[in-house]
Amino acid sequence: MVKITDVARHAGVSPSTVSYALSGKRPISEETRRRVEDSARALGYRPHAGARALASSRSNVLALVVPLRTGIHVPVVMQFAVSVVTAARDHDVLLVTQEEGEEGLRRVADTALVDALIVMDVQLHDPRLPLLRTLDRPSVMIGFPLEAEGLTCIDLDFRAAGERCVEHLAQLGHRVVALVGSPPQVYVRGTAFAQRVVQGFTAAADRAGIASAVHPCGTTPAEARRVAERLLSEQPALTGVVVHNEAALEPLVDAFEELGLRVPGDLSVTAICPDRLASTLRVPVTSVALPSAEVGERAVELLMRKLGGEAVPEATLLPPTLTRRASTAPRTVDPR
């Protein structure tokens, strides 16, 4: 293994000069820098990560804590992970599963394996909050707990997303709408984003003076079909549906059509889901995108600023963007 002293000798300078020349942490004459860089390249020098971490108390590694639980759409997690890896230019990314729990966080943080953490899928009453507050490493959470005092959170503004969908339907003249939401257990464990969609959905419907109902929904086609039937029997005048459930979206639309309802002819459907999904369905669905990539980038950016000692806002809400596609249309005067 070639080490810094080897490079120093080869370049005819001291080890510290090599360190500074390569890190740029103090001014080095143009000529010396070139010599050092040439020597480093010639010898194939790679600083030892552990030694560097020990001496500088910086590992240049971030932890990414990913959820693996029911009701979480896997591609979203993956896309997010990729965007974090990509955005974290000079940091590597350590994958921590949520199953490792608080112990996992403590392990990577307290051993100084990582400099900072990104925590996905934060619950309203997340048991990890106290720990994240006392950890001596900065963190950014994807999602909002009930009490975020002293923490840093970022996410799509799900409340606004719910509102946006209803407003879109209301503008098209729909007067009776329903929300098909996440699986029941998602609400039970208090996932903030799911509840915020409900709030936004309901508030916007009330404000527009239109009738609304909320239905949790499982992730299998069979459950989607059951929900579709319940929807129509409970709200016979229904003409607008908001879907916040990636897995159920396609089977739901299928179920509607099997039940004799054309989309968007009889029923307008909007969703909150990745664009990729909404645009590839048989009937492309009007949707508010889950901006995984943007959330990832911004999360890393916030983390870097915190690592730099900068103060950052506790909450960052990304505004929703609704893209019109083929699944929504003005309400017909005589529906059914």
Partner DNA sequence: ATGAAAGCGCTAACAT
Partner DNA sequence: ATGTTAGCGCTTTCAT
Residues near DNA, by CB under 7 A:
1, 3-5, 12-17, 19-20, 22-23, 25-29, 31-33, 45-48, 51-52, 54-58
**Min CB(131)–a copy of itself separation in Å:** 13
Q: Which does 268 bind (CB under 5 to 8 A by kind): DNA, a copy of itself, none?
A: none
Q: Which does 171 bind (CB under 5 to 8 A by kind): DNA, a copy of itself, none?
A: none
| Helix (H) or strand (E) segment spanning residue 21 | helix 15-23
Binding to a copy of itself by residue 280, rule CB under 8 A? yes
DSSP code per residue over 128-176: THHHHHHSSS-EEEES--S--TTS-EEEE-HHHHHHHHHHHHHHTT--E
Site string for a copy of itself, 68-107 (x = CB under 8 A): x-----xx-xxx-xx--xx-----xxxxxx-x------xx
Residues in the chain: 336
8 Å CB contact between 291 and 135: no
**Min CB(12)–DNA separation in Å:** 7
**CA dist 40 to 25, 31, 35, 83, Å?**
17, 14, 9, 31
Q: Which does 237 bind (CB under 5 to 8 A by kind): a copy of itself, DNA, none?
A: none
Residue from 276, 283, 277 nearest 325 by CA = 283
8 Å CB contact between 278 and 242: no
8 Å CB contact between 217 and 224: yes
Span from 20-28, 111-119, 291-299, 319-327 in contact with a copy of itself (CB under 8 A): 111-119
| Helix (H) or strand (E) segment spanning residue 184 | helix 184-188
**Min CB(70)–a copy of itself separation in Å:** 13
What residues line the site for a copy of itself (CB under 8 A)? 1, 44, 46-54, 59, 61, 64, 68, 74-75, 77-79, 81-82, 85-86, 92-97, 99, 106-108, 110-113, 220-221, 280, 282
